[in-house]
Amino acid sequence: YSIMSSEIECYFETALELTKQAGKLIRDRISENKIVEIKSCDIDFVTETDKQVEKLLIDGLSKQFPAHRFIGEETASAGGQSSLTSAPTWIIDPVDGTLNFVHGFPHSCISIGLFIDCQPTLGIIYNPVLEQLFTAKKGQGAYYNGKRIHVSGQTDLTKAIVMMENGTSRDSERFNCLRANQEMLVPVIHGIRSLGSAALNMAMVAMGAAEAYFEFGIHIWDIAAGEIIVTEAGGVVCNPAGGPIDRMSRRVLCASSQALAEQLTQKLVQFYPTPRDD
């Protein structure tokens, strides 16, 4: 696919407009009672809002761009497509941080990434509750509410804030791995944080508020927008064991510099989730 920058601009503006519309649903409902359905385990939730936001985005985008493909979390959960081809593909997490949304904890967002030829082309992360908008287009930098952002560039792990999550899983091996990494990191780094949203964790690394984030158990829709936002902000997104990211492996590491990513890949206790257990 050869794509002109005016086309990318059109994709971006269309997606942003729909994201703002869909964000209103999240903002209006976050403080209300929700009807919650359970997916893989007792903390893996989906609400009516997750489904409506995904439908609004996919309907709106497919109307404008009928040849494009879609990978959406709630459509994939219902047996929809979830493999990436070279065709322009929108990867959508309608509510990243559903557990936060259910509780009214104000860190939930819409995350949209567009891949063309399997390469990240644009990304939008929008938290409508706190009015935080993170965006990036290939080769054009990353932005927070319209202002250019950069990673901190920190290269020293002992001066880092590292973000990590257990995810929506009760798997005891995954939990043991998280605990082992906490025990390894807490005594040497500045601190550990988790926002309960993979996309917003990546946004914190992109804007230089945290130095790294890793998780074993994410899906492609959790990181599709964050990847380009972090790399356009000057950061690194890779395999937590080193080497290039495998977006279908359910594993991610992002960092404020290559040196920091390498210190983490050498130290992290690794975990390899199965393709679809949550």
Give the nearer residue to ligand IPD in terms of CB position, either 144 or 221.
221
Of 155, 119, 124, nearest in space to 234 by CA:
155
**By the rule CB under 5 A, 278 interacts with Ca ion:** no
**Planar angle of CA 13, 142, 83, nearest 5 degrees:** 70
Distance of closest approach, residue 264 Cβ to ligand IPD, in angstroms:
17
Q: Which of 23, 34, 56, 73 binds Ca ion (CB under 5 A)?
A: 73
Q: What is the DSSP string of 53-85?
A: HHHHHHHHHHHH-TT-EEEEHHHHHTT------
Give the nearer residue to ligand IPD in terms of CB position, either 165 or 232.
165
Give the nearer residue to Ca ion in terms of CB position, either 211 or 222.
222
Q: What is the DSSP letter of 162?
A: E
Task: Give every strand in the sheet of 69-72, ordered side by side.
Answer: 69-72, 89-96, 109-116, 119-127, 132-137, 142-144, 147-149
Of 11, 112, 4, nearest in space to 53 by CA:
112
Q: Which of 25, 89, 93, 230 binds Ca ion (CB under 5 A)?
A: 93
162 binds, among ligand IPD, Ca ion, none (CB under 5 to 8 A by kind): none
Residues of this chain that interact with ligand IPD (CB under 6 A) are 73, 93, 95-99, 165, 167-168, 196-198, 215, 217-218, 222
Distance of closest approach, residue 2 Cβ to ligand IPD, in angstroms:
33
Give the nearer residue to ligand IPD in terms of CB position, either 160 or 164.
164
Contact, 156 vs 260, CB < 8 A?
yes
135 binds, among Ca ion, ligand IPD, none (CB under 5 to 8 A by kind): none
Measured between alpha carbons, how far is 59 from 102 in angstroms, rounded to an integer?
25
- Applying CB under 5 A, the residues found at the interface with Ca ion are 73, 93, 95-96, 222
